[in-house]
Structure formats: C-alpha cells, structure tokens
Structure 1
Amino acid sequence: MYEIGGLIIIGILAQWLAWRLRVPAILPLILAGLCVGPGWEYYTGHSLLSPRFDADAGTGLFPGNLLYSFVSLAIGLILFEGGLTLRTGEIKGLTNSILKLSTYGAFTTTVVAGFAAHFIIPLPWQIAFLFSTLIVVTGPTVIAPIMRQINVKRQISTILKWESIVIDPVGAFLAVLFYKFIIAFYEPDATVGEAIIQFVRSGLVGIGLGATLGYGLYLLITRLYVPKFLLNVFILAAVIGAFLMSDAIAHESGLLTTVVMGAFLANRDVPFLHDILDFKESLTILLISMLFILLSANITVEQIELVMDWRVLVLFLVVVFVARPLGVYWSLAGGELNWRDKAFISWVGPRGIVAAGVASLFGLELEERGVPGAEYITPLVFIIVLGTVLLNATLAGFVAKRLRVSLPKGSGIVIFGGGEGAREIATALKTSGRDVTIVTSNQSAAEAARESDLNVVESIVNTDDLDKVLDLTDVGYILAMTSSDEDNFYVVNNYRSREGLRGIHRLLTRKEVLNQRYSKRSLFSHFASYLILNRTARTNPGSHKYLIHDENLIDEALEAIREVKAIPIFLRCAVSGDITFVGADTNDMEAAVNDELFYIGPEVKLDGLVDTSESDAGGESKNVAEVVPEKAADHVVSEDSTGEKIS
C-alpha cells in the first residue's frame, strides 16, 4: 500500500517540479526512480521501491512479468491519447516528409546505431541491432513538453509531433522483429521465417483492427448509445479491450491498434471530443508518472556500473550527432524544408517511454535465456533516453534561436468569427507559420473552416464557459471579427487585460465606417467593415503577399492596396518572424527589406515590391512592373447601401 501511494505522490510531485523548472517531466521522473531504486539500494542495501515482487523478501509490486504487462497496456493508452491529436488536416503538404522520416529515418538510425554498438562497446551483432531498433523512437511523452516550451515554425512542430507518435509502434515492431530473430538464433525450434510472418501479421492486424474498432466506437458515440457521464470510462474500457484483443490475435500489435483508433476518432466529428481529450490527458500524465519511476527503479546497481564506461559516451555521441542527422537529411532531402529546419529536427530527437519500456522487457527476458550481451540492453537504452532528453530540454530553445526557426513568444492567434473574410485571414496567417484558432457559433462556418484545415472551436462568444474549451497558453493576438459589433466589443473588454496577450484588435463598427473615426484597436482599413471584408474575400479568394525591397515603400504600398479596395492584413518581419497587424488608422508603419506584406482582394502591382504569392512552391519570385491603379470609387460604403443584412 505504501509503495503504491508513494509511487503516485512522487510521480505527481515530479510532474509539478518539471512544470516549475520548465523541463520535460521525464527528467525528474527518471531521477526520482533512480533515487528510490538503485540509488537507495547502493547506500542501504535495499530499495525503497521494488517494482518486481521478491518472494523471499516479501516486497515488490508486480509478480513475474506482470510489470511489463502493465507497462505495455499503459503505453497503449498513452499512444491512444497521442492518436487523438493526429488530425490529417494539419499535415497538408507534410505527409511525405513524415512518412519518410518514420521509415527512411528509422532505417538509417537502426543501421548506424547498430554498427556503432557492435564496434564501439562491442556488443554481439544481434544485441547491437536490437539496441538500435529500440532507440529509433522519439516519443510524444517527451516531444510535446519540449515543443510547449519553445515556439517554432508550425511545419517543424507538426513533423516532430507526428513522427513521435507514428514511429512509436514502428520502432516497437522493429524491436519485436529483431527480438524474434535472436530467439530464432538461440532456439532450434524457432525460425526466421516465423518471425517475419508474425511481424507482417502484427502490422496488418494493428491497422485493420484499429480502424474497425475505431469506426465502431465512433458509431456508439455519435448515436448516443453511451451516456455522457459514462463516456470517458467507456472509452477507456474500449481501448483496453481493443489492445487485449489485438495482442491476442497477433502479439505486440496492440500499440498500433490504439494509435489507429485514436487517429480515426480524431479525424471524425465526434461529440464531446474535447472532454475525452481532457480525461485522456490527465490519465496519460498519471500513467507516465508511474511508468518512468517504475522502470528506472527497476534498474540495478550492477547495470549502472556496467555503463560507466567512456565507450558508452562515444556511442551516445554517434547516436545523437551521426545517426539522427543522417536519417533526417536523407528522409527530408528535396522537400520544402530548408537546411535550418532540417538541422533543428536533427537536433530534437529525445527518446521516450516506448524505448524504456520495451528495453526493460526484452533485456530481462534475453538475460534469463543466457543471451550474451543482453545485460547491456536496459542500461544502454536508459542512458540514451536520459541523455537525449537532458540535451534537448536544456538546449532546444537555444538551438532554435541560433538556427532562426523559432517564433516570438505568444505567436498563436484566436479569431472570433467564422465569416469568409475571417477564414481567408486565418489561412494567410497559417501560411505564415502561425497557429490559428477560429471561434464561431455558426455550424456552417465552422464546417467551412475545417474544410480549409483550420482549427475550430464551436461556441458562442459572450459566454464565461469559453475559457474551458479555448487554450490561450501561447496566444499572443486576439481578433474580434464577428458580424456583431456588440460581440466584438465584448471580446475586447473581456480579454484585453489577460496576461501574455501582445495585441487585441477588432473590426470597425458601422458607425466608425460612416464617420471615419476609429480607435487604435480597429483593423485593416477605414472601409473594412464585416460586410466589405466578406465581399472582398468572396470575390477575390486567396491572399497575396509582397516581398519588400525598399522599406520606404510601405506607406505607398498600403495606399495603393487600399485604393483598389483591397484590404491589407499584416506585415511579417523577415528577421524575427513576428507579425504586425495593419490598423485602420495606420499611416506610418515601419518595415524592413525582405519583410512580407499580406493582403486580400484584387492584386496590386507596385514598383519596388516583389510578388511572392505564387512562388512558394517553386522558390522563385517574379518582379512586378509598375502599374498606376485607377482611382477607385469612394472607399466608404454604407452597409445599408449593399442590400445585405447582418444576422
């Protein structure tokens, strides 16, 4: 009883300490496990926490191999929660990179680390490649906290998140395959062919069963066969049942089944999905806290002494500075990412719970079978896990800044309103690398936003419950762009004093458009009312951006854009990546060479600016000749004269 209670208390305290120190929770969790396990044993002769039951001493939590059964099941639940965050819309244009990184990258790491382990330590060939397959996985349990601490380009964070979740079952499958090869080598009854057949069967069962059971769970939820008060625990039981069923059909296929189930639900319109995610996130925190302490406490003093060797340090350096970069650059060669993006992805490769859990299981089983070198598996993998997490947690932010892939703190943007203009602006902001969320109560607008691969929160604006479903952790800007002037003022008044916001803006009111008087918070232009904004987006879909070659032309560019009744949106700084929203009263914006000015509406041609709107894919820009735009009609259009009404 005391061991179980202490395990939970120490785990949550370690999570809190990690939050206070702004480091991934895995660091204090592993250190806590080492302290109550081998550390305490080294000084006193016995452990405070014994994960495996010892019949002679009468201490321990899990008899036999039940510890590793618990670890496998817990990892399955963790990966299901990770799968719930895998929305296919966010990887538009990045699918190829993620697939290659999870296959070519994993293969490269396996080969390089396997050869290094064989020649440096040295380990037998079979054990060396089992080790290398175990350390190909990065893991969402460590990537997510690091990404929360640093704000990098959306493409980079998306690739790292998807790789960490997709590669977990891939790495586990590879480890199982090599484990079976080793068993086939040392046991006459086993064959290599059987190992390959089981590997393929596990993959097919994981994908097929995961999709089938995911669809069944989706039908149960959407048809309201499960009451809301039972929904979270029902899904928990369903995931556990799916894991057990999959593992019974094909050994070690449960991890892939749970990932596929989670991803299937994430890409469907599932009621109460936010509540499900909240529950699963809390459960994941508890499971991670218990797992890392249990696995690190299970390491022995002898295993720690085994890796206190300079050759282990050399192996670690090869894994971090040779295997990972080679895999990344080979996988992402010829893609849309530049060398800075690839260098940062190469740097961020912390290993997580799957590597630690599977290593503990296979290491012990092979050791009991008397396989030479098996005693190295568990401590070597833990060295890689602890070292990569420590390295990434302490230096990821510094490396991101040096490589200029980081965005300013508070770069997230929330747009209240789901009209055509709001969606067009949100798409332009997303193109520039920002995380954008649209808040709207209009269901058709929400669906249209989702079709444009935008994050959507369906809620009315003027409610105190909005904070429960809206994550403002890294939000720096709020734009009030609803059809209601009253709602826009409500948003401004409700959020303007919130800590961490860098700016809060709203659309012009109808009275401001008519009287040509507006506040510093009003957006875009002196005629950019809700109706005019939507009409501009409807008649001229898509946004334009200009690369500024002369900083003195910014005022002239804004005037030319507004003169043809196009609407300037924001200016993106080339050096810092920061953005500045164009205000209705802006006449003296500051710009620098290579800054980008975004706008919607008719294309404007101006000497000294380079249009890059159509050059993103090819990487080439086209010079724009000077054209003097015709004098537009009166900018100010009364909403009453349009024949349209605001609902």
Structure 2
Amino acid sequence: MEQQALVIALVGVLGIGAQWIAWRTGWPAIVLMLVAGFLAGPVLNLFDPEAAFGPMLGPMISIGVALILFEGGLSLDLRELRHAGDGVWRLFLFGIPLGWFFGAWGLHFAGLVWPVAVLFAGILVVTGPTVVMPLLRQASVQPRPAAILKWEAIVNDPAGALCAVAAYEYFRLSANGATLFEVVPPMIVAAVLAAALGYAAAWVIAYLFPRGMVPEYLKVPVLLTMVIAVFVAANLIEHEAGLVSVTVMGVALANMNVQSLRSIHPFKQNIAVLLVSGIFILLSASLNFEELRYLEWRIGLFLLGLLFIIRPATVLIALLGSSVPWRERLFLAWIAPRGIVLVAISGLFALRLADLGYADGNILIGLSFAVVVATIVSSGFTVNLVARLLGVKGTTRPGLLIVGATPWTIALARQMNELKTPVMIVDSSWQRLAPVRQQGLPFYHGEILNEATEHNLDLTPFQVLVAATENEAYNALVCNEFAYEIGRDAVYQLGEASENDDYRALPESLRGRALFQSGFGVEDVGQLKREGWVFRRTRLSDQFDFNDAQQKLPEANQMLLLLRPDGTMRFFSHAVQPQPRAGDTIISFSPPQPKTPEEVAAKKAAKRGSKAQTA
C-alpha cells in the first residue's frame, strides 16, 4: 500500500515537473516526460509500475486513454469542417488505408512476419491529441492546418485501434478457415453500435444538465462516470470499440450547445493534463532493456522510412485534388507524432500475438516506444522551423484583446497596433465600433460572453485581456470568465477594489488585476481623456533608463505597461510593478504637455483675429 502511494506521488512529481520544465524552456513536454519515466524506471530503478499495480495497470491506462479521447472530442467543433473538412475527410477515408498499407510493407521489410507487420501498421495510423495539441500550442500554427491535425489526431486514435482489432481477429480466426469478409462486417457493425452508444450518452447528458436534473456539484462526477461506463460497455461489444464510443460522445456533446458544460471546462483540462503526464510516465517507466534488444538496424531504417517516405506519401496521395494548399500539405506530411494510444494498444496486442504463437509479437512494445521517441523528437524540435519555412506559422507575438469600445480603449488599441502588437476590440454595439472601423483597427462585433464567440473568434493569438467597458461589474464578469483560459495574471480591468466604493461588495478573486498603480476607474480615464490626456510611448536604452523616463514625463503621468522587444506585455498595477530594462517600450497615460510661451501667444493672437473678423 505504501509502495503504491509512493509510486503515485513519484509519477505526479515527474509528470507535472516535466510539464513545468517544458513551459519554462519551450521544449516538447512529451519528450521530457518520456525521458523522466525512462530514467526513473529502467535506468535508476526508482519504481516498477507493473510490480506496484499488477493487473490493475492495464485497466488504469485504458480508462485514462478513454478520458483523454473524450476530452479531446469536446474540443472538436463541427463548424471547423467548413474550412478544414476537405482535408480531414480525405485523411480519414484515404489516409488510414494508405498509411496501413505502406506501414505494413515497411515493417515486413524491417523483418517482421506479415501478421505482426499488418497488425502494428494498423496501430501506426494513430497520431493522438496528447502529442499533437501540445505541438500546436508550441508552434502557433495557422487555423486550417492546425484544425486538420487536431481532427486527424482525435479521429484516428479509435480508428487505429479498430484496425488492430480487425487484423488480430482475422489472424486468430483464419486458423479456423475464416475469411476477411467474415471478420470485417461484424467489426463495422460493432463500431456503429459503439458510436450509437456514445451519441446516446451525449444526448442524455445534454438533456439532464440544462434542466437542473443533476446538481452542480455532481455534474463532473456524473460526466466522468458516464464516460467510463460507456467505454466499458462498448468494449463488451468489441475489443477497443470503447475508444470509438467516448470519442463520438465527446464530439456530439461539444456540438449540442450545452451551456452548463462551460463550468466544467477548467476541470476537464486539469484532468487531461494529469492523465497525460501520469500515463506517459507509467508507460516509459514500464519499459525494460529486454524489450529493446529486439531493435536492430533494419528497425532504424524503418523509422527513417516512416518519417520521410510512409507519412509523406500517405498525406500527399490522400490530399491529391483537395482544396488544401501545397505548403499546408507538406506541413501535414511532416507532423505526425505518436503517443499514448500507440504504446498502450501495442502492449496489449504484444501479449495476444505471443499467445497465438507469433514470436515477433514481443518486439511491439520496444518498437512502439522507438516510434514514439522518433516521431515526437523529429516533430517536436522541428515544428517551429518547418512551419516558418512553409509559411504556415500563425501569429507568435503576444496579442491584446480589449473588451469595450470607448475613446480610451480605442486610443490604447491604436498605440499597440502601431507597435505591431496584435490587438482586437470586442463590443456588442455596432455604433460604438464605428470609430474603430473608421481608424481601420481590428474588431469583433458580438457579445464576448456568448458561447458562439468561442467558435467565431480565434482567441489563440491573445495572451492578455483588458476589460474596459463602462460597466465595472460586467468587466469583472468578463475577467472571471476568461481567467481560466488566458490566466488569472493576464486579465485586467480598470479600478481597484479596495478603493472603489462600487466595488466593496466584489471579492478580489472575482476581478481582474487593476490597471494603473493609482487605481483609475472607467469614469476616471474617460474624464481624463476628455481633458486631453493621451498615450505616450518611451523607449528605454542603456543611456536612457527608467529613471530618466520618469523625469522627462509629466509629474501626473501614469505608467500603464512595458512592452518587451519580443512583444511580451507587463502591466503596472496596484499590486505589481514590472522591472524595466533596456530595449523595453513604456506605454503611459499622460496629461497634455504644457504649452510653451510662444504657443500660448500664438493661440491668443489667433483668438483676437477671429474676434476681429466676427466684428
């Protein structure tokens, strides 16, 4: 009992620690988790997952994979298929059989007997959201290729599992004289039944939750229990059909517009991170050197062929005649990392093939890890370079999302736009957006809290949100809603709770961070803007530091933010003052510069001339 608790604690520390290091360094998180698990397991012998959990290890990993696929399905919006559907359907209908065919020939060339080669090639068609999604976040790829990769990863996981099951059932039953036509139709029927089961479960959730038939505190437990139950029930219909059920359940639920699911999004994201981290550590720690001894030079050639021949040929042939541009096709042809599902299913079928008398089945575990490492390393460390060379890289400079079109926010947006910072003003009033349109600034007409906005407005480029409408309570609501997605430290609003009478009833935890050290509110900045206050930008250097800037600017000047050379924004607030350094640009809100005596005299002379003409 104590040993199992220790293993669970070590898995958590290693998995989340690897994720944190990846966040700090920009390295692929999956690579770091594989390295951490391999070092903790076969290298240092800190723990052995199989010895700690015994026969429970397999079901634990299977249920974890099911929950990950369900969470991935919840992120799939069918409206994305309007732009990416052509590529997605072609990669599913043509890419899977092509990849299976090319992979089987490659594995047979590498020395595997045909049954083992065909079965493992079926598993190889998977990519997986656990490895694709982190890469897309890391590289900031344009929307269409990113959507195609995301859909392919989530849809192909259950498809690859079914391919492996079909191959296994055929070779198992062929000894008794069964033909291919006796094996495949029942598999298709099982897949359809599993999909129907997943859709029915999604419909039940979509019916119960909005009608208050499940209390708020039970929604997450009910949903997770339903996913596991559907997974197990579908597996009773056919081995690995549960992956089809949970994927369909997630996609269906995501497109049923269930408003009450918004509250569980942060929780499901946390669960996905924990599961991905834990499963990768457990699987890599379970590897042993005995399984690696099967790998030889021909396997190395197969890995090269997989990267440079099999995947490119599969994608380029499948997308012939499609609307996907060639540069995006080449990017898709290179990015195909494999992850959890490949290793988990390979371990399952390695034992089953050995029971059928295929000695080559033992190679599947070591080979699956070799494929995972080769594809993750090649994709993870080159995705930025390849995306940039092919021109499919999205916006990498951090963007600013401004909620509310007022004279103050429009002036701020104009300043940030001139500094090449991606900026977007969101407002539900077409009339208030009129000056935004006149100045050619990017805008979105709609309600930011409406669920449709999540689908119509790509929020990926924006790392900072400023809510500055004329309604302070609404600003707090916006900040609280987006704190989970953008980050609590990256949502800001005007006004300081402790100093604003209108805010004494609002806890600090519900608000965004206060802009300006002075705690200016919406009415304050509006009044100052009418009095002629303007935004100023000051560039710091080794010869002109922050102290020099403070002396040059007016005494009443209010520092708003620092803009680093890489586009990172650091705001001055009542709680935090960033540390300026050479190369930074300071954006400040300042009173109008006092006029010189010559300007005052000229203005008086102009007034006198105007009066004389009137007389």
Given the two structures, how large is their TM-score scaled by the length of structure 2? 0.69
Match of 2:104 in 1: 114
**Taking structure 1 as reference, are residues 261 and 16 closer, same or farther at Cα in structure 2, changes over 3 Å only?**
same
Structure 2: gaps spanning 5 or more residues: 402-424, 460-464, 495-511, 518-525, 537-566, 568-615
Structure 1 counterpart of 2:134: 145
- With 454-463 and 74-83 compared, the bigger mean Cα shift is at 454-463
Deviation at 1:358, TM superposition (A): 0.3
RMSD: 3.8
- 1:16 aligns with 20
Indicate the structure with greater helix content: 2
Task: Go from structure 1 to structure 2 and tell me whether the alpha carbon gap of 1:94 and 1:377 turns closer, same or farther (over 3 Å shift).
Answer: same
Superposition pairs for residues 64-143 of structure 1, below 5 Å? 66-119=56-109, 121-143=110-132
2:250 aligned counterpart, secondary structure:
helix
Q: Which residue pairs with 1:269 in the alignment?
A: 257
**Mapped partners of 2:43, 2:329: distance in 1:** 39
Q: After the TM superposition, which residues 356-375 of structure 1 pair with which residues of structure 2 at under 5 Å, given as runs?
A: 356-375=343-362
Are the aligned partners of 1:411 and 1:477 in contact in 2 as well (CA < 8 Å)?
no
Distance 1:400 1:421, change over 3 A: farther
Q: What is the DSSP-based 3-state SS (H/G/I as helix, E as strand, rest coil) of the residue aligned with 2:83?
A: coil
Report what 1:62 is aligned to. Answer: 54
SS in 2 for 1:132: helix
Indicate conservation of the 8 Å contact 1:83/1:266, yes or no. yes
> After superposition, where does 1:180-579 map in structure 2 within 5 Å?
180-185=169-174, 187-188=175-176, 192-307=180-295, 309-410=296-397, 414=401, 415-420=425-430, 439-440=447-448, 446=450, 453-454=456-457, 461-463=474-476, 466-469=479-482, 471-472=485-486
Change (3 A) 1:325 1:413: farther
2:133 is aligned with what amino acid?
Answer: A
- 1-side partners of 2:447 and 2:235: how far apart? 41
Question: 1:190 Cα shift?
Answer: 6.4
Q: 1:130: Cα distance to partner? A: 1.3
Tell me which amino acid in the other structure corresponds to 1:247.
N
Are 2:430 and 2:445, in contact at CA under 8 Å, matched by a contact in 1? Answer: no
Residue 495 of structure 1: how far off its partner (Å): 8.5
1:608 is aligned to none
Contact persistence 1:218–1:270 (CA under 8 A): yes
3-state SS of paired residue (1:23): coil
- Count residues with an aligned counterpart: 473
Task: Quickly say closer, same or farther: Cα 1:202–1:438, change in 2 above 3 A.
Answer: farther
State whether residues 124 and 372 of structure 1, in contact with CA within 8 Å, keep that contact through their aligned partners in structure 2.
Answer: no
Q: What CA distance in whole angstroms lies between the structure 1 residues aligned with 2:491 and 2:391?
A: 22
What is the alpha-carbon distance in structure 2 between the residues aligned to residue 214 and residue 468 of structure 1? 25
Give the drift of 1:48.
3.2
User: 2 CA distance for matches of 1:94 and 1:315?
Assistant: 31
Amino acid at match of 2:53: L
Amino acid at match of 1:338: P
Q: Cα offset for 1:184? A: 2.2
Alignment equivalent of 1:28, drawn from 32, 45, 50: 32
- Does the Cα contact within 8 Å between 1:201 and 1:250 map onto a contact in 2? no
Alpha-carbon distance between aligned partners in 2 of 1:27 and 1:435, rounded to the nearest angstrom: 39
Taking the aligned partners of 2:120 and 2:436, their CA distance within structure 1 comes to 45
Give the counterpart letter for 2:54 in structure 1: F
Q: Secondary structure at the match of 1:18?
A: helix
**CA distance in structure 1 between the aligned counterparts of 2:143 and 2:490, rounded to whole angstroms:** 15
- Say if 1:410 and 1:477, in contact at 8 Å, map to a contact too: no
The letter of the residue matching 2:48 is S
Alpha-carbon displacement from aligned partner over 1:507-558 (angstroms, at most 9, x marks no partner): xx9999xx9x99679xxxxxxxxxxxxxxxxxxxxxxxxxxxxxxxxxxxxx
In 1, Cα distance between equivalents of 2:271 and 2:436: 33
2:246 and 2:124 mapped to 1: Cα distance?
A: 21
Q: Is the 8 A contact 1:138 1:349 kept in 2?
A: yes
Shift in CA distance, 129/510, structure 1 to aligned 2, threshold 3 Å: farther
Q: Answer whether contact 1:97 1:332 (CA < 8 A) is retained.
A: yes
Cross-structure match for 2:157: 168
- Alpha-carbon distance between aligned partners in 1 of 2:334 and 2:360, rounded to the nearest angstrom: 29
Letter in 2 for 1:417: D
Q: CA deviation at 1:118?
A: 0.6
**Alignment partners' CA distance in 2, 1:255 and 1:35:** 30
- In structure 2, the CA distance between the partners of 1:152 and 1:455, relative to structure 1 (3 Å rule), is closer
Structure 1 stretch displaced more, 31-40 or 318-327:
31-40
One-letter code aligned to 2:82: K
Deviation readout 1:111-163 (Å, 9 max, x if unpaired): 112101111x2111111111211111111101111111112211111111111
In structure 2, the residue matched to 1:535 is none
Q: Quick one: structure 1 residues 477 and 464, their matched pair in 2 at CA, closer, same or farther if it must change by over 3 Å?
A: closer
Q: CA deviation at 1:416?
A: 2.6
Q: For 1:447 and 1:50, locate their aligned partners in 2 and report how far apart those are by CA, in whole Å.
A: 45
Q: Does the Cα contact within 8 Å between 1:81 and 1:277 map onto a contact in 2? A: no
Structure 1 pair 465/130, CA: closer, same or farther in 2 (3 Å)? Answer: same
CA distance in 1, matches of 2:434, 2:108: 55
User: Are the equivalent residues in 2 in contact too, given 1:438–1:455 (CA < 8 A)?
Assistant: no
1:412, 1:435 within 8 Å by CA — same for their partners in 2?
no
Could you tell me how far apart the structure 1 residues matched to 2:444 and 2:60 are? 38
For 1:95 and 1:283, the matched residues in 2 are separated by 29
**Structure 1 residues 207 and 21 mapped into 2: Cα distance closer, same or farther (>3 Å)?**
same
The one-letter code sitting in structure 1 at the alignment partner of 2:194 is G
- Say if 2:475 and 2:493, in contact at 8 Å, map to a contact too: no
Q: Does structure 1 retain, via aligned residues, the 8 Å contact 2:38–2:285?
A: yes
The DSSP-based 3-state class of the residue aligned with 2:273 is helix
Q: Which runs of 5+ in 1 are unaligned?
A: 41-46, 53-58, 428-433, 481-492, 499-508, 522-577, 579-647
Q: CA deviation at 1:478?
A: 11
Provide the C-alpha distance between the structure 1 equivalents of 2:141 and 2:33, rounded to a whole number of angstroms.
26
Please give the alpha-carbon distance, in whole angstroms, between the structure 2 residues aligned to 1:448 and 1:32: 41
What's 1:575 paired with? Answer: none
Contact 1:205–1:250 (CA under 8 A) maintained in structure 2? no
Deviation for aligned residue 1:270? 1.6
Tell me how far 1:14 sits from its aligned partner: 2.2
Distance 1:400 1:21 in 2: 19
Measured in 1, the distance between the counterparts of 2:187 and 2:490 equals: 47
Segment drifting more, 413-422 vs 240-249? 413-422
In structure 2, C-alpha distance between the alignment counterparts of 1:300 and 1:520, rounded to whole Å: 62
Secondary structure of the structure 2 residue equivalent to 1:311:
helix
> What is the CA–CA distance in structure 2 between the aligned matches of 1:30 and 1:200, rounded to whole Å?
35
Contact 1:124 1:373 in 2 (8 A): yes
- Deviation per CA, 1:377-428: give whole Å up to 9, x if none: 111121111111111111110111111211331365644313458999999x
Question: Aligned equivalents of 1:392 and 1:199: distance in 2?
Answer: 33
Q: Does 2:43 align with 1:39?
A: yes
